[in-house]
Amino acid sequence: MIGGVFPSLCSGPLAGDPERMRGVTPPLGGTRMSRLSRVKIDEEVVKEERKMKEIFKNKTVLVTGGTGSFGQKFAEVALKRYKPKKLIVFSRDEMKQFEMRRKFSSANIRYFIGDVRDPDRLNRALHDVDYIVHAAALKIVPSAEYNPFEVVKTNIIGAENVINTAIDNGIKKVIALSTDKAANPVNLYGATKLCAEKMFIAANNYSPYGTKFSVVRYGNVLGSRGSVVPFFKECRKKGKIPITDKRMTRFWVSLDAGVDFVISCIGEMKGGEVFVPKLPSMKIVDLARAIAPGCKIEVVGVRPGEKMHETLITKDDFRCTVEKRDRYITCPEVVFRRKKRVISGKLLDDSFEGYTSDKNDKWLTVAELKKLIR
């Protein structure tokens, strides 16, 4: 196992199950693992846990979009569990930085007001930085459809600025956050994130100082800004919950689990990978019933740029994707100048139909959703 151990990607009946968490499940064919195999796996788990605890030791980490939902949770987890030498929060919102200063009292955190659209400011912020977590983006789908040029400036030009300044400053690792909307995109937001993904992967080809770039792609984040949860809670007061379509499904991940997954990928990345966690799916109508069980559900139709179901890995990606216990890793098809990589896991074959939210084998029930949103 390479990526370390982190909490379940969503709470539910399997959360906390030591057999599932340690990867001790019967292999294909039904034969149970030997006692020796279990001991070996336990030793590997302990080794990886120790390695992960020191992932940010004596390292300076910068988070773009650091005052957003992900950035704040990342700061909380990193400062509490991983003790970086310095954590730099890079964002353009001075009020959120002010509020964040009051929330975090650590002497190891710094705040930079800046925008990823401004390469000069990025360049100044990246002095002596080891790792970058790129979380800055414009993400609201309807807003992106009506303000395409602004979204391109942040999500694509901003990504280019992060790449160029990272290379110029000799950053060791850069990991960029992406979205399920980047797989077979039908909206501008997804298209810009797909473009950014391609840029980060290709950046490995022209980094003279060995900067490594990888991507994490996952689904909707429970509790994040812009989530449908607070919107449904507000609508609950009026007794009516508007949903786009009762058949609509989405992947779902908790904020804590999303942060843990990203940190594990920083430890595992060799450059060029797209990491995809195995996530549960949910029906939008079930989420509405979990939040407002006594309210009327009104179907209002699909919004511009919305999909009925989301995709994390397309069918065509099977040629270069491996499956592991808790994740998929899509490897780059382009050839890098670095030595040949070795990634453990099961290589997918042409029977793979894609990883989509409507054909998932893990589903959140209404009861489980109620527990998650409390």
Active site residue 296: no
Structural element, H or E, at residue 367: helix 366-373
Pick from 10, 41, 71: nearest CA to 225: 71
Residues in the chain predicted with pLDDT less than 70, given as ranges, are 1-50, 223, 335-342
Helices (H) and strands (E) in the chain, counts: 13, 17
Active-site residue identified among 59, 73, 86, 181: 181
Percent of the chain residues past pLDDT 90, beyond the cut: 72
Pick from 298, 291, 300: nearest CA to 374: 291
In single-letter form, the type of residue at position 277 comes to P
CATH topology of domain 36-219+253-278+312-356: Rossmann fold (3.40.50)
Torsion of CA 258, 62, 176, 96, to 10 degrees: 60
Domains of the chain by residue range = 36-219+253-278+312-356
Q: What is the pLDDT of residue 45?
A: 56
Q: What is the pLDDT of residue 287?
A: 94
Q: What's the pLDDT tens digit per position in 154-201?
A: 999 999 999 999 999 999 999 999 999 999 999 999 999 999 999 999
Predicted model pTM: 0.85
CA distances for 367 relative to 58, 109, 234, 291, 373, angstroms: 43, 39, 20, 10, 10
